[in-house]
Amino acid sequence: MKKRKLGTLEVSSLGLGCMSISGAYGPKLAADEAGALLRTAFERGVTFFDTAEIYGPFLGEELVGAAVAPFRDDVVIATKFGFDLARPLAAGQSAPGFDSRPEHIREVCEAQLKRLRTDRIDLLYQHRVDPAVPIEDVAGTVGDLIREGKVKHFGMSEASADLIRRAHAVTPVTASQNEWSLWTRDLEADLLPTLRELGIGIVPYSPLGRGFLTGEIKPGDVPKGDWRSALPRFQGEAAEKNYRLVEALTALAVAKGVSPAQLALAWVLSRGDDVVPIPGTRKISRLEENVAATEIELSADDLAAIEGAVPASEVVGGRYA
């Protein structure tokens, strides 16, 4: 697989998002299953593995650490901090609160090193911005961890252009992780030009629209236990309308002799050599399908047809509830 650069960090042109192996979209994978999946990814050329403390929580990092241990020095591990996972959720609270206090970042980093079975984290992201902590303090703390050799690169996720500029002035930001796909193109207007001005790489998560763009999820298919069932785009009339866009994408894919997932992923890959998507999967067959997408070449006519089939302005429903 070809390589790309996130800032100065070289990785495979496609990474593997490891949220789903810890149970986000169904039962968690057993250690041997996760090991087989990540080992196969490595054998197919994937050298970039993305996880986070909140996946599980903690299980995702444990599974990744165990799986990549035999080839640790040949891969890049990315993980994330930024949530208060020690405090139980209050009544009516659906997600943990933020915590990017400098002392907490240090505590999390030490625990992550142990779970990941490593002496350094290649790319450490602030998972979500903590409005209670100045971004300069966050960037400064990660900068200290870099100088101590515990972290190699600093990343941010879902942060504004202004906050990234402020953080970058303290500690260079290597990558920004954002949702980016045919049905989510919010970052293109303001954030993307800033990232490219500063030489910061882009890591699109959910490049397949949390599976919807594969064509395998029809309206009403998502079971109640799956957290996607609460997302507006997957519900009722919105899902029906969005699925019509997927049908149009599928028709283009059939004509090109590829799957709709591969065509959607090839579109994200076409956005630039500073773009490294991290589709997640729990199945080796899907992994191999995604890897094959890195070999698809799209002409200007192909790109125009794809964007005409799935215009962002026609996507119905918000990203999150």
Token pair belonging to 51: 């996880």
> Residue 303: what residue type?
L
Specify whether 55 is catalytic.
yes
Q: Which residues contact 277 (CB under 8 A, 6 or more apart)?
A: 14, 15, 180, 203, 204, 205, 207, 265, 268, 269
Indicate if the alpha-carbon torsion angle 225, 228, 232, 234 is positive or negative.
negative
Question: Catalytic one among 25, 55, 205, 243?
Answer: 55
Contact predicate 249/263, CB 8 Å = yes
Torsion angle of the four alpha carbons 191, 196, 199, 203, in this order, in degrees rounded to the nearest 10 = 60
How many Å apart are CA 192 and CA 208, to the nearest integer? Answer: 19
Contact predicate 269/298, CB 8 Å = no
The residues that are catalytic are 55
